[in-house]
Structure 1
Amino acid sequence: MRHAQSRALHTYWQTLRLGSAAPQREDIAPQDISELLGHVFILRRIDPAHHVFRLAGTQLCDLYQREFRDQNFLSLWRGHDAVHVQAVLESSLSGASPASMVARASSMDMHQLPVEISVFPLRGPEGVVDRILGLFQPLDDTEPFRGRPVVRTTLREIRPPAVPGHLLPVSRRHTGDMQLHIANDH
């Protein structure tokens, strides 16, 4: 995770785990992460193809100039990007392990903004890991987007979840324009 706020949310998530695979959704206290709330989102997994926004921070909504509640997070992505993002979300939930992605948000007039998207699995009310606490963190100034909604989000880099219980070195492999970081198990 590149951005200090992404690392801060990761530390917060780790402290809430208390030895379990993932913290409960109800353990998230908005006052504990108040400086991050504008960029925070929470998703609920309905099925592999539907990770629905339950909450989306005001800065995320302002960038896209729309509300996200009850919309599918995967609808922000096209083609192969949607497939890769779905795989990251599913593997993060199944392994109860954080992951991150770097994307490029683009406006209709081609203003571009790099963003880091960090995802942290959560347990819902039934105790099942079926929620995502996420952070949509711009890596550059958002001022050029004032009055220009993001109309396309393009995946640039994936940092998939680590294998639970293992600390693995990371190798880099370039796939066209996107960079993929893969954990080695040797």
Structure 2
Amino acid sequence: MKHAQSRALHSYWQTLRMSGTTPERADVEPQDIASLLGYVFMLRRIDQGHHVFRLAGTHFCQLYQREFRDQNFLSLWRGHDATHIQALLESTLAGASPSSVVARASSIDLHQLPVEISFFPLKGPEGVVDRVLGLYQPLDDIEDFTNRPVVRTSLREIRPPAVPGHLFGVTASGRAPNAELVANDR
């Protein structure tokens, strides 16, 4: 994880899973992550091709200048990027282990903002791991995006679900052996 806020949400998620099982959606208390809420989102898996926003923080919505509730998270991505994100979300839920990506958000006038997006699996009310607690964390100043909505999001690197002994695919040495750079559709 590149950003302190991403690491903070990971620590919170780890606290929720003290028993070693995937935390439940009902375990997430907004007041516990109050400082992160502007960029936090929650997804629900409907099927493989539909990971729908249940909620999205105000700062996240302001960057895109739109409301996300009931929209498909995969619609933020194009071509191969959408395929990679879909696979990442599916593997995050199947393995009940966090994952993350580094992406580039672009405005119509080509301003660019690097972002880190983290995904933390949760159990829904039926006891099935079908929810994702997410964080959309800008890695740079967002000033250039005032009155300029993000119109394209493209992948830069993927950090798949961690394997035992690793945090988000990063070893104790700080190397990321599982990180994959991705090519964007042209």
State the TM-score, normalizing by the size of structure 2.
0.91
Letter in 2 for 1:56: A
Gaps of 5+ in 1: 179-186
Mapped partners of 2:182, 2:131: distance in 1: 31
Identify the residue that residue 54 of structure 2 maps to in structure 1. 54
Are residues 144 and 37 of structure 1, via their aligned partners in 2, closer, same or farther at CA, if it must alter by over 3 Å?
same
Identify the residue that residue 134 of structure 2 maps to in structure 1. 134
Give CA deviations for 1:89-117 in whole Å, capped at 9, x if unaligned: 00000000000000000000000000000
Identify the residue that residue 93 of structure 2 maps to in structure 1. 93
Gaps of 5+ in 2: none
**Match runs of 1:34-73 below 5 Å:** 34-73=34-73
Identify the residue that residue 155 of structure 1 maps to in structure 2. 155
Mapped partners of 2:106, 2:88: distance in 1: 22
Identify the residue that residue 77 of structure 2 maps to in structure 1. 77
Larger proportion of strand? 1
Residue 150 of structure 1 deviates from its aligned partner by 0.2
Identify the residue that residue 171 of structure 1 maps to in structure 2. 177
Give CA deviations for 1:5-35 in whole Å, capped at 9, x if unaligned: 0000000000001223310001100000000
Residue 173 of structure 1 deviates from its aligned partner by 6.7
Are residues 174 and 127 of structure 1, via their aligned partners in 2, closer, same or farther at CA, if it must alter by over 3 Å?
closer
Verify the 8 A CA contact 2:158 2:182 in the aligned structure 1.
no
Report sequence identity in percent.
Answer: 71
Verify the 8 A CA contact 2:88 2:99 in the aligned structure 1.
yes
Mapped partners of 2:74, 2:144: distance in 1: 25
Count of residues paired in the alignment = 177
Identify the residue that residue 31 of structure 1 maps to in structure 2. 31
Are residues 75 and 31 of structure 1, via their aligned partners in 2, closer, same or farther at CA, if it must alter by over 3 Å?
same
State the TM-score, normalizing by the size of structure 1.
0.91
Mapped partners of 2:115, 2:56: distance in 1: 15
